[in-house]
């Protein structure tokens, strides 16, 4: 669980730094890590659901099927 907080804080800080060009001191608090973890799980979960619904044969199987279609 601790590593999830560390990784989410790193990801959030890097993203904000790239987007805005600065990282302020309130962004280094433990509350920010707590906010980023649910957002990350929401994005990953949504991506997983979309992939399952769109790629019934799996990603590689779907690509192979589309390449061999006449």
- For 5-65, give the secondary structure using H, E and C: HHHHHHHHHHHHHHHHCCCCHHHHCHHHHHHHHHHHHHHHHHHHHHHHHHCCCCHHHHHHH
- Match 């060009």 to its residue by tokens: 21
**How high is the pLDDT of residue 51?**
86
Q: Are 4 and 37 in contact (CB under 8 A)?
A: yes
pLDDT tens per residue across span 7-66: 877 777 788 788 888 777 776 677 776 777 777 778 888 888 998 888 888 888 888 888
Q: Look up the pTM and report it.
A: 0.44
**How high is the pLDDT of residue 33?**
67
**How high is the pLDDT of residue 6?**
78
**11 burial via Cβ count (<10 Å: 0-12, 13-18, 19+):** middle
């Amino acid at each position: 669980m601790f590593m999830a907080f560390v990784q989410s804080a790193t990801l959030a800080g890097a993203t904000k730094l790239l987007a805005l060009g600065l990282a302020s001191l309130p962004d280094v608090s433990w509350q920010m890590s707590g906010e980023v973890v649910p957002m990350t799980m929401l994005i990953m979960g949504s991506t997983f659901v979309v992939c399952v619904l769109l790629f019934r044969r799996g990603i590689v199987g779907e690509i192979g099927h589309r390449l061999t279609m006449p």
